[in-house]
Amino acid sequence: MPSPRLRARRVSRGPLLMLLTFRFIHCYSALVHILLNTYGYISNWPVCRLAGKVAVITGGASGIGKATAAEFVRNGAKVVIADIQDDLGHAAAAELGHGAACYTRCDVTDEAQVAAAVDLAVARHGRLDVMFNNAGVGGEPQPPPLGATDLAGFDRVMATNARGVLAGLKHAARVMVPRRSGSVICTASMAGMVGLGAMADPSYGASKAAVLGLVRAVAAEMARSGVRVNAVTPGAVPTPAAIRSFAAWLPGKSDEEVRRIIEADVNMVVAGTVLEAEDIARAALYLASDEAKYVTGHNLVVDGGFSVTGGVASRSTQSE
């Protein structure tokens, strides 16, 4: 039978435990209230869709690549930014946090540098889950007539946009196939799907068609080893590179004016919206995540329907 002193101690603890319980419930309720006010519904709370995963992003220092690096890190991934823009690359990695991202110089026309970027990811993090072959060049801003085509220029564009993608596929396979897991994403273009006439150098269109061909060619082989391979095809995103390219057709226009023209006249297909780099980043996030576990050999087109309307929807909407 408990002593009177022990019974008294138990009685004195009772109110304290009740007080602590009420304080816990109060704090928990306050936290839930804050989160509900911030995110709306509990079902909409952010989810880390790439938690624990490691990604290499070529061309990750600016534009679509930088936006994708930020989206991946926001969703729990560690990212290696591989690019030739050293200052921008280091700045992007610092912005994302050196624990989450690092930069390495990588010219995708040099296979050894692509291999080194993949090896860096494995050395730092022990694995590679996502390879985003995003680096690319745009060809001649104002291509000459076909009869005056510079074949050396064609070779330069193909070396980056097609051969560079194949190098990324090769070295991703080298480390992903033994683990029987991984996702490879390749950036294509509307120019690889439809003829854009004077809007795109033929070498650029051919190189991006080659990207789609590579994805289809290797998807089945890689699928047998549990690795998915897909493409993402953006519309005209007003990245710095795109603005420079469009500026060649719009002499005298400022960068901001060129941006507005891209948004209003080139890309305005879905009424009331504009295409941003973050839209492509979210498409890449889906393809990289386990939500796309049964998606391979696919070309995810994010162009507001431009490739199936030729921009007709855009022009008719603006004229109404």
In tens, the pLDDT along 274-311 reads 888 999 999 999 999 999 999 999 999 998 887 777 65
Instruction: Give the pLDDT of residue 188.
Output: 97
Q: Domain 54-319: give its CATH architecture.
A: 3-Layer(aba) Sandwich (3.40)
Active site positions, annotated = 204
pLDDT attached to residue 314:
44
pLDDT tens for each residue of the chain, 320 residues long: 556 554 545 545 566 666 565 565 555 555 544 444 444 444 444 579 999 999 999 999 999 999 999 999 999 999 999 999 999 999 999 999 989 999 999 999 999 999 999 999 999 999 999 999 999 998 776 777 888 888 999 999 999 999 999 999 999 999 999 999 999 999 999 888 887 665 678 888 999 999 999 999 999 999 999 999 999 999 877 777 777 666 666 677 777 777 676 666 555 566 667 888 999 999 999 999 999 999 999 999 998 887 777 654 444 444 34
Closest to 280 in 3D by CA, of 139, 181, 186, 162:
186
Give this prediction's pTM: 0.79
Cα–Cα distance for residue pair 91/97, rounded to 1 Å: 10
Per DSSP, helices labelled H in the chain are 4-39, 63-74, 86-96, 111-125, 151-158, 164-179, 202-223, 240-247, 255-261, 277-288, 306-309, 312-319
- Give the count of beta carbons closer than 10 Å to the beta carbon of residue 290: 9
Provide CB contacts within 8 A for 264, sequence distance 6+.
Answer: 318
